[in-house]
Amino acid sequence: MNGDFLALLPKNPLQQPGTAVNREDLVLHATTVFAFHCSAGVIMAGDHRATAGNNIFSDRAEKILELDAHSMMAIAGSPAVAFEMARTLQTTFEFYRRSQLQPMSLDAKIRALSKLLRDNLSATLQGFGVVAPLFAGLETEDPAAKPIIQFYDPLGAQFEAVNYAASGSGSPSIRSALHYLEKWGSPRPREMSLEQAVVLANRLLMTAAEFDAATGGVHPDRRLYATIKLLNRDGIRGITLEEHETFWQKAES
CA 199, chain centre distance (Å): 18
Gap between the Cα atoms of 2 and 126, Å rounded = 34
Alpha helices in the chain (DSSP H): 79-100, 106-119, 121-126, 171-184, 194-211, 241-252
How many residues in total does the chain contain? Answer: 253
Computed on alpha carbons and rounded to an integer, the radius of gyration of the chain in Å comes to 18
CA 135, chain centre distance (Å): 6
- In the residue annotation, 31 being an active-site residue is answered as yes
Q: Which of 248, 252, 179, 174 is nearest to 211 (CA)?
A: 174
**What does the longest C-alpha to C-alpha distance in the chain come to?**
59
19, 31, 32, 91: the active-site residue: 31
Single-letter code of the amino acid located at 67: L
Q: What are the catalytic residues? A: 31
